[in-house]
Amino acid sequence: MHDTGTGSTGNTAQPSRRTVLAATAGVTAALAAPGPAQAAAPDDSRLHALLSRMTLQEKVGQLFVMRVYGHSATVPDQADIDANLKEIGVRTAAELVAKYRVGGIIYFTWAHNTRDPHQIAELSNGIQKASLELPRGLPVLISTDQEHGIVARVGVPATLFPGAMAVGAGGSRSDARTLGRIAGAELRAMGIRQDYSPVADVNVNPANPVIGVRSFGADPRAVSALVAAEVAGYQGSGVAATAKHFPGHGDTNVDSHTGFPTITHSRELWEKLDAPPFKAAIAAGIDSIMTAHLMVPALDGSGDPATLSRPILTGILRERLGYDGVVVTDSLGMEGVRTKYGDARVPVLALKAGVDQLLNPPDLDLAWNAVLTAVREGELTEARLDASILRVLRLKSRLGLFRSPYVGHGGVDRTVGTRAHRAAADRIAERTTTLLVNEGRLLPLSRRRYPKVLVVGADPASPSGTTGPPTGVLAGALNELGFTATALSTGTAPSAATIAEAVAAAREADAVVAATYNVTAGSSQKTLVDQLVATGRPVAAVAIRNPYDVARLPSVRACLAAYSWTDVELRAAAQVIAGRVRPRGKLPVPVQRADDPEQVLYPIGYGLSY
């Protein structure tokens, strides 16, 4: 979940957990039996031979997946060299691999790893070359967070799809499978072979500050089906999918990046609500599962985060659910895993709990030496390390990294961001936009009656799936559909002066489209919308993140849920506004009344059409 910079998903109404769970109870059911164990492992003789030749230091390195700055494995920019020296003690990715023999590297946009597809392919090849040329060199498992929607590390010209909650609104397993297949093929072409997706959390808490639209929804049965479909798509394209965040992060009001959440579900409720998507992922043959940095007292009363909990990771995930694939931690730099123990203890305790990959520790040298010392002093056995390394080696072998670790530019050109792939993403998005309000049949908006459209509203920080601010993208899409649309960014907290400017502009337009972003009771976004409505111009709101905004906007004549402000979802919303596409999305989460959060305003499955 190490999605630094994605912003808060905190929401509008603050209903009780009981209310939201009750709203989903009628449409959910537990998956009665745990999923079967992973398929029998292939012949491990070659992998055991590799293990037998590795030094203890090399084995320790294979357990780590680390960040590194730079667009090149050997000649990054000077600023990236400086950042690497400061944070890791090496200059380049090649030096990182040589010094610590890390088994994996994770790409981030902010680490300047993902400028464009060809550069990414070159970086991947450079990392593989640096590792394979070492004595007893092994291929590196390169990973990233490409969830789509609001979390995407690889941007355009790669194909960007709607995020999970939008896919949940579409409700199509075929679309989820297609998303995984295409996205997986593009990642593989760039040398990225492990994707930390899909999110398997069931988001039943509208106030969840970190999951929100990253979840498929609030119905565990629907979430399970879509998780399994995406897993099949990704892994059918040769990329390891990762179900996250076990044992479930969907009912928190604390962000584990900055705090230590507690899940208060009973064991029975966990079985019904949180467990089913992970069982479905295991039944689908999921290659890896990511842990959550949160406490679940009903599953482990020690007060430890799940990442460090042997009862949860070994007792439940390994033994009860029969999972024998790779278990990777969420980022070890997050506060949720650092609250109780120091950075030197966390990696050791995670391995003792049953983890295989240690992701992105804040201080690699400290963590690496802590694991090495724990083995030398007998707290961890070398056999324990071997068990995890063997799982990782099996995964690398299954992905073909021993046979074909490199990628070619021809593959990038043939695969990444093709016209067919982008068209598929648009078609999927067009099935996700959800129409919640349409008084007087305002939508579809008539070009004859309302030729001049003002697009105003929030322009939050852009994820990789955007080519510009949401108001500009939405206005541009409406212009392409025959309107004369202008954009005015008012931000997520418009001032009185900004609101006055927007109101003046609205009086010169025939209709207004307002992009809203997590509207709260006291938000000046609500004041903006109310004053736009008071001009007498028809106002259609587009919720560009959480769909709960509609509960705070009773004055608008129309309201759509787009579930994200990425280009693909804004283009789809424009198509619906213009009547080129009928709205087909259905709410995958319930929306509560703003004035009485105990009451459901719009239930799961609600959505209008025309």
Please give the backbone phi and psi of residue 561, each rounded to the nearest 5 degrees, phi first.
-110, 120
Q: How many CB atoms lie within 10 A of CB 390?
A: 17
Please give the backbone phi and psi of residue 313, each rounded to the nearest 5 degrees, phi first.
-80, -40
DSSP 373: H
Q: Which residues, 6+ apart, have CB-to-CB distance to 385 below 8 Å?
A: 59, 60, 63, 351, 371, 375
**DSSP-based three-state secondary structure for 144:** strand
Please tell me which residue in 257, 265, 293, 421 is annotated as part of the active site. Answer: 257
Please give the backbone phi and psi of residue 172, each rounded to the nearest 5 degrees, phi first.
-100, 120
Are 456 and 514 a contacting pair, CB within 8 Å?
A: yes
Active-site annotation holds for 596: no
Are 230 and 240 a contacting pair, CB within 8 Å?
A: no
Active-site annotation holds for 255: no
| Tokens 């990642």, located at residue | 187
Is 239 exposed, middle or buried (CB count within 10 Å of its CB: 0-12, 13-18, 19+)? buried
**DSSP calls for 91-102:** SSHHHHHHHH--
| Tokens 């078609």, located at residue | 427
Cα angle 408-284-398, degrees, rounded to a multiple of 5:
35
Please tell me which residue in 195, 201, 330, 459 is annotated as part of the active site. Answer: 330
What is the Cα 578 distance to its own chain's centre? Answer: 30
For residue 413, give the nearest of 175, 202, 117 by alpha carbon. Answer: 117
Radius of gyration of the chain (CA): 24
Catalytic positions, please?
A: 257, 330
